[in-house]
Structure 1
Amino acid sequence: MAGHSKFKNIMHRKGAQDKKRSAMFSKLSREITVAAKMGTPDPDMNPRLRAAVLAAKAQSMPKDNIQRAIDKSSAGEGDNYEELRYEGFGPGGVSLIVEALTDNRNRTATNVRTIFSKNGGNLGASGSVSHGFDRLGLITYPVSAGSADKVLEAAIEAGAEDVESGEEIHEIWTAQEDLHEVEKSLEKLLGEPESSKLAWRPHNQVGVGEDEAASLLKLIDALDDDDDVQTVWGNYDVPDEVMERLSA
């Protein structure tokens, strides 16, 4: 249960949160409303809603916005969204999983396919990529939560499967079905996490050079800019110094 964190290279947003805050809040609100509609509007009783609220808080989304999104579900307002997953390949043979929430399946499929084709990628069939990933629970804490040894000890006690501590965050991995229980146990030991969600963890990382990385990150940013796309996961590993140059 150790190792250097590569998660920041798995889900890349390249500062999009700061530059496109309004669009990001819209996506967060959509996830909150969908999560609340699927269960109870109480985050303490609805693990998916709790995860959505944590994600919104992590991006400094105002409390009023969060509550409005929850209230929409109770009032039966808003569109009915469908969860979709797309799988494809990016530059350098990188595997990508795209998760979307949409009220128009045809529009989203066309947009995602076009983005892949215009940015050096290829959209694959269902299952063409996901077999190389595990669907797991992921709980993250900032480094201020404690030392790597402290977090590791807490994770073992809480029933987690793996821990990776990096320079910025601690990543605690759990079985998919154990996410909520492990999170509750960790909160007693370490406080409220920064995020708690279901994630796609690749079996192997694909090293990407600077030229391919530039094209790959352009593809990921284009996908992330689509209103219906919620999350983009991948198995790429871009060296830190390359990532810093390309993100400048």
Structure 2
Amino acid sequence: MAGHSKFKNIMHRKGAQDKKRSNLFSKLSREITVAAKMGMPDPDMNPRLRLAVNAAKAQSMPKDNIQRAIDKASATDGENYEEVRYEGYGPGGSAIIVEALTDNRNRTATAVRTAFSKNGGNLGTEGSVQHGFERLGLIEYPASVGDEEKVLEAAMEAGAEDIESTDDGHTIWTAADDLHQVATDLEKSLGEAENVKLAWKPNLTVDMDEKGASTLLKLIDTLDDDDDVQTVWGNYEISDEVMAKLD
């Protein structure tokens, strides 16, 4: 069950970028508001809201901001966001899935299409790359939480499907429908996770050379900078050697 995560370096790079972006709290707030509006405004009664709140806490979002985002769901004059998913192809044969929350589909579609076209990719049709991914639950813990054996035992008892441990930390995969329960059980044994969310995990990855990786990361940065874009997933792998040349 254990092994090297083929896109761990990408996720870590993205995590570092997320913390630096000034609009991170805005994106987290939007997800909280949408989750609260779709179900109960109580995280204990709304699995999606609980995941959104946990993600916000992992990024040190203040409690007042979180509560305001929840309260916003019941405001009659609030924006109405809808979930939109875009699929496309990046440099080097990579496949990209973009998840967004938007109040203007035309604006978001134009921005995403432009990002792809200006950075070595092209936007595909719905379902064009999704078949190469699996929808799973993702839970991440830092290496400091314990060794691989401890985390493996806790993950198995909680009903997780897989675990990948590296020097950077532990990545735990669950069935999509089990994410909330597994995360809750793991919190009791390992403490609060760094990251809990639904993810698109690629069935196969493609290795990127230095040129392709450089263009691909520009595409990801452009997408990440869009206020409507929540998450970007891909099937690419960039080796530590290539990453070192790009840093």
Whether TM-score is above 0.5 comes out as: yes
Contact 1:115–1:219 at 8 Å: present in 2 too? yes
Residues 123-182 of structure 1: CA deviation (Å, up to 9, x unaligned): 111111010000011111111211101111111111111000122221111111111121
TM-score (norm 1): 0.94
1:6-25 alpha-carbon deviations (Å, 9 max, x no partner): 3434545274334322x111
Whole-Å separation in 2 of the counterparts to 1:88 and 1:29: 26
- Aligned runs of 1:42-191 on 2, under 5 Å? 42-191=42-191
Indicate whether 1:17 and 2:18 are aligned: yes
**8 Å contact 1:10–1:233 — kept in the other structure?**
no
Identity of aligned residues (%): 72
Deviates more, 1:66-75 or 1:104-113: 66-75
For 1:211 and 1:3, locate their aligned partners in 2 and report how far apart those are by CA, in whole Å: 27
* CA distance 1:63–1:241, shift in 2 (3 Å): farther
Q: Is contact 1:139-1:183 (8 Å) kept?
A: yes
Structure-1 residue corresponding to 2:243? 243
What's the TM-score once normalised by structure 2's chain length?
Answer: 0.95
Letter in 1 for 2:198: L
For residue 45 of structure 2, give the secondary structure of its aligned residue in structure 1. coil
How many equivalent pairs are there? 246
- Whether contact under 8 Å (2:10, 2:238) holds in the other structure is no
CA, structure 1 residues 147+77, in 2 after alignment: closer, same or farther (shift >3 Å)? farther
In structure 2, what is the Cα distance between the partners aligned to 1:242 and 1:14? 18
Q: CA distance change for structure 1 residues 173 and 25 in 2, over 3 Å: closer, same or farther?
A: same
Distance 1:150 1:75, change over 3 A: same
Q: CA deviation at 1:112?
A: 0.6
Structure 2 stretches lacking a partner, 5+ long: none
Once superposed, what is the RMSD of the aligned Cα atoms? 1.5
What is the one-letter code of the residue matched to 1:140? E
- Name the SS of the counterpart of 2:157 in structure 1: helix
Equivalent runs, 1:18-33 vs 2, <5 Å: 18-21=19-22, 23-33=23-33
State the 1:237 CA deviation.
0.5
What letter matches 1:190 in structure 2? L
| Contact residue 10 and residue 234 of structure 1 kept, 8 A | no
Unaligned runs of 5+ in 1: none
Aligned residue for 1:74, secondary structure, equals coil
